[in-house]
A and B are shown apart, each in its own frame.
Chain A
């Protein structure tokens, strides 16, 4: 723009009534520049004229366009400057006599000056014409159409963005239900945890405590079962990973980042799901240590196994002599699943966070397992039910598992069996692997693990 500014100002200066000397200086300066001066050569014959008339004309032209802030006169009246130029030229031609009695230098200066003025005027004229053209283009249909198109564009933009937003809000809503359940579950965990802490101080008899614990568990189980049920029915498109993704975009949701883990792990119901590695510093599980991972087959087998357990669990619990008076048998079924969330995490110090890390690790393992090496130990199995509360996917996964397991069961024709059979089944489902040997070598562990449903009770029994 510097360019334009320069010529405009020089135009003004040239037209202003200044002393000749000044103008000459200016002119000389100007002459350094531009090839355009060659144009001026064409005007060499032109004679000097008093500057005033031109100025007047230009001012008139400006006045006509008074409302326009732009310094250059723009208007259909661009003809005015044109006339001015014409006038200048003709007048100059007429007044050849004025040179009489002037020195050569003066004449030269005057000539140059005149030529330059002519040049400037021409340029102004051209610019004016350009502006007029610009203006008429702006008034034209083309630009109007552009504006309308732009408006449509912006409206489309808003609409598309709004639809995306709605898409996401809808999912948010769907997730909110989940979130709520999640929170409740978390709260429940806390309760359970506290129960655990209270354990020693309580004045109640062990039986009483156990009874109350169990009833709590039952209630929790029922709730959880209902939840799982609703999940299976919610299994819509948002299902696995999405529903698991509790409002990650909600800044208030602390598990923001977790959801990405969950997405990764949740999308595939069969692998990675059942896997939770125990924290090393986990009291009970310190023994269990191992990294667990298994592929789809194993977890399916696990599902079947779990189902079996469910069916026979009342007996199992009886066997383990836990049998608290208050344990209603029918409930023990859900209890198997339930235990997963609550008792274990309550009894055990480590928490969701650590576990989630664990799950990351197990995820790593899972990948290995995909490569073919199924390394696992019994503990992995046991551990699996104890998912961190925020790992909603587990829930639905389990729900799915449960949903599907009857089918699998029927297909296999495996009748529900009693406790002792369980390990066998498990073993059958394992792929041959070093882990198996390990597992076998630690039968007691297996035992306790298969009993996970009533861990508390086990402890209790030991105490007895």
Chain B
């Protein structure tokens, strides 16, 4: 579903919008063809409306007025001339409904229209309270559901993914209450919400919802239905992002079979690309090449040689050749892709190009042409309009830039990181594991710049997020612990550092055995720290009592710190 509204993906604002406008104009054109009578009547309509609308407030009591005003509002929108007027009509309509029928479905619906017009004017902040009200004024499940979902869409246009997901969830709940939880319509909403979760990288939730959707669709539609295929593709995406390549592959193959059965050639090709990605991830290069080539042939024949989807297959092939060590081929595929992106065929969205450039830059980065990679990323950022909905995409690209700067030792360019972090925070995405990982990296960059205080703060925040999202035993979390311990050590909080290191070592030995390189490194650090702390301690007092006391104290203290040092700065 065009559920697009992810924060990341705000509606394909740029181009698609244009396309849509064009479409509208077309429509308008055809509307105009029966010209004379039409234009006449239209002017008539126009003439008429002012009269009616001129009526003062009291006439709002007229029962017919609400429907009529709504109608006028819709017509005004359809004609596209004056959205503000449409807004005015719609607001009056809602007032009229409020007076005549009080709270109820009519009022809710008219509020929806008002909100939709606000949204189309880009005044999202004003749309929000209207929608909230529309949810309050009615008990009708459908109206409330649609209000919630529209509110969710509006939030996601504003770049507030977290809130939009929250709204979708309420919508989903309303739907469950009304329809039970095995209705296909419920499945639709589920999948929509799952997509939103994927967008904000909350993969576990997405997986749960997607599973549910899949079950419902299995139950209600024929085997190998297109709905199921769509679910499976989303599922595959989730699995891939989680690194579960086997299940991803399984879902994709099943989806592909449904698509073949339904004769969806282009979809089959798109799935082939995804299959190729998975094969590439599990190093089955021959299968990957086969899948990519198959998709490439289809795309070339159905969409033309220079369609962006062709370019995206080029990028995948470039990645593959890089991984198999054929650098020259890899580079030439990159160049081919860039050529297509440089002269996009009409109808290509700038988001598409930007994401294509980002992918190419990833390959240049692995080819160790960091400068070129950075240049491409900068271009990609420029292509994306700075709308709230685009912000988290931009943040992702900026984070990549920051990382590349970091890796070539240009620590001063930490500004990219800061921008990225600020944007992600603003979009309410500060709860995903990805954000935690990014914070850790920003912390490392701060250390490189000797901003140890900032680094500690960043590491601590990263730790908190990762503990929540991945659990305290996850490798990433342990990595952050290790960084944090080293930083504590550097600012003299030796006890804290020791406690953390001891924990890390315990976890690592439990999970990954004792021969790990990182374990060795950390053990050395711990030994050193303990030696130092021990020396300190041994100097404290000579009596046994003192010694015992001191040790007990230390132990207690460190235990306490371990549990609470999250609150210390």
Contact = CB atoms under 8 A, between A and B. Distances in A.
Interface of A: 1, 3-4, 7, 38-39, 42, 68-70, 74, 123, 126-127, 129-131, 133-134, 137-138, 140-143, 146-151, 153-169, 171-173, 175-176, 179-180, 183-184, 186-188, 190-191, 193-195, 197-198, 236-239, 241-242, 245, 247-258, 260-261, 263-265, 267-268, 279, 281, 349-354, 356-357, 360-361, 363-364, 367
Nearest to A256: B116
A147 B441 CA distance: 7
Interface string B3-35: 111101111110011011101101110110010
B434 A154 contact: yes
B109 interface: yes
Most buried by A among B3, B42, B44: B3
Nearest to A244: B1
B199 interface: yes
Given A179-B23, A360-B105, A169 B349 contact: yes
A251 B20 CA distance: 11
Interface stretch (B52-60, B286-294, B401-409): B401-409
A254 B393 contact: no
B75 interface: yes
Contacts of B93: 353
A161 B26 contact: no
A263 B188 contact: yes
B1 A133 contact: no
A239 B521 CA distance: 58
B438 to A, nearest CB: 7
Given A257-B150, A353-B67, A364 B142 contact: yes
B142 A261 contact: yes
Contacts of A239: 226
17 contacts: A4-B453, A70-B451, A147-B406, A147-B407, A164-B9, A168-B3, A171-B4, A172-B2, A172-B11, A172-B16, A183-B78, A198-B37, A237-B264, A254-B78, A254-B113, A264-B185, A268-B183
A74 B70 CA distance: 72
Contacts of B272: none
A249 B3 contact: yes
B71 to A, nearest CB: 3
Nearest to B9: A165
B528 interface: yes
Interface residues of B, number: 149
Contacts of B407: 147-148, 151
Contacts of B437: 149-150, 153
A3 B490 CA distance: 12
Contacts of B185: 241, 263-264, 267-268
A363 B262 contact: no
Nearest to B66: A354
B525 interface: yes
B63 interface: yes
Given A147-B403, A281-B63, A352 B229 contact: no
Contacts of B4: 164-165, 168-169, 171-172, 249
A151 B482 CA distance: 19
B256 interface: no
Given A42-B539, A190-B31, 19 more contacts: A4-B492, A146-B440, A149-B437, A150-B441, A183-B23, A183-B24, A183-B27, A186-B78, A187-B27, A194-B41, A237-B226, A237-B262, A238-B226, A252-B120, A257-B149, A261-B143, A353-B113, A357-B109, A363-B142
B120 A164 contact: no
A250 B492 contact: no
Contacts of B143: 261, 360
- Which 4 pairs from chain A and chain B are nearest by CB? A237-B226, A194-B41, A168-B4, A183-B27
B198 A164 contact: yes
Nearest to B12: A169
B165 interface: no
Given A39-B536, A166-B352, A191-B31, A242 B452 contact: no
Interface in B365-420: 365, 392-393, 396-397, 399-400, 403-404, 406-407
Contacts of A172: 2, 4, 11-12, 16
Interface string B486-501: 1101111110010000
A356 B142 CA distance: 12
A357 B146 CA distance: 12
Most buried by B among A163, A190, A249, A350: A249
B213 interface: no
B105 A254 contact: no
B453 A255 contact: no
Given A169-B349, A351-B70, A264 B227 contact: no
Most buried by A among B225, B229, B479, B541: B479
A130 B355 contact: no
B276 interface: no
Interface stretch (B322-330, B334-342, B442-450, B559-567): B442-450
B361 to A, nearest CB: 9
B351 A191 contact: no
Given A147-B406, A254-B78, A268-B185, A127 B491 contact: yes
B262 to A, nearest CB: 6
Contacts of B175: 264
Contacts of B74: 254, 351-353
A142 B349 contact: no
A297 B31 CA distance: 38
Contact of A69 (B122, B404, B449): B449
Given A158-B396, A236-B264, A249-B4, A168 B105 contact: no
A351 B67 contact: yes
A165 B10 CA distance: 8
B68 interface: yes
Contacts of B75: 190
A138 to B, nearest CB: 6
Given A169-B4, A190-B75, A249-B3, A130 B494 contact: yes
A90 B461 CA distance: 45
Contacts of A1: 452-453, 456, 491, 569
Given A237-B227, A281-B67, A171 B2 contact: yes
Contact of B489 (A133, A363, A364): A133
A252 B396 contact: no
Nearest to B489: A130
B430 interface: no
A74 B452 CA distance: 12
A73 to B, nearest CB: 11
Interface in B171-205: 171, 175, 178, 183-185, 188-189, 195, 198-199, 201
B448 A138 contact: yes
